Amino acid sequence: MDRNARTAWKLVLVVGGMLGMAYAAVPLYEAFCKATGFGGTPLVAQEGERPVIGRTVEVRFDSNVDPNLAWRFEPVEREVKVHLGEEKLVFFRATNVSQRPIVGTATYNVTPERTAGWFNKIQCFCFTEQLLAPGQSVDMPVVFFVDAEMAKDRRYDDIRTITLSYTFYEAKTERAKTLLGGTAADGTRKGG
């Protein structure tokens, strides 16, 4: 193989590698954020025994909807007070105000961002896409806790309030298409 052909193959490999890295960047970044709490992304935890201590924080809830999504979305309670380590169940209510079934997906974060590593969700509607029929309302659960270990780090002594924020968008994934494929125009399940 001559020198020009080798150079051309090297360039093809470099460009292919760059394209592969660009394609993998978003899922890798999301996995990194979920694992570390980076960028205000709460951690995903498992149910289990953990210490609960006397220190409390107020957790406020914020809800947003993309302007292109015909849903109403709000927390059932605007805020709750929780002890560090205490598992808490709260609900958000979503209503499809359109005349067609819609699959939505939620993104989430917490503020202040530096508390994300202490904020853990055990169960959340944001882990999966949600299908709502026309006019349907659902109360969707979130089970979370703020790690009691936060109290041991003096840098977090000033934290009294944490805000958990969600934004719903219309899902355009293959799973969303599958969910919609099993739904008639009136929102009922096909074949049953």
Mean pLDDT score across all residues of the chain? 83
Q: What is the pLDDT of residues 76-112, one digit of tens each?
A: 999 999 999 999 999 999 999 999 999 999 999 999 9
Mapped onto helix, strand or coil, the DSSP state of residue 164 is strand
Helix (H) or strand (E) holding 170: strand 161-170
Q: Are 108 and 128 in the same domain?
A: yes
Look up the CATH number of the domain holding residue 69.
2.60.370.10
| Kind and range of the H or E run holding 19 | helix 3-36
Domain that holds residue 18: 1-36
Is it the case that residue 11 has pLDDT exceeding 60? yes
Which pTM was predicted? 0.69
Both tokens of 81, joined, read 């007070």
Question: What is the DSSP secondary-structure string of 27-42?
Answer: HHHHHHHHHH-GGGPP
Q: Give residue-wise pLDDT tens across range 127-185.
A: 889 999 999 999 999 999 999 999 999 999 999 999 999 999 999 888 888 888 865 54
| The pLDDT of residue 34 | 52
188 belongs to a structural domain: no
- Whether residues 6 and 77 fall in one domain: no
Under 8 Å between Cβ of 57 and 84: yes
Count of domains in the chain? Answer: 2
* 32 and 65 belong to one structural domain: no
Rounded-to-integer distance, Cα 113 and Cα 118, Å: 10
Residues 6 or more apart whose CB falls under 8 angstroms from that of 104 comprise: 69, 71, 94, 129, 130, 132, 168, 169, 170, 171
What's the pLDDT at 17?
Answer: 66
List Cα–Cα distances, 151 to 55, 56, 74, 115, in angstroms: 8, 10, 30, 12
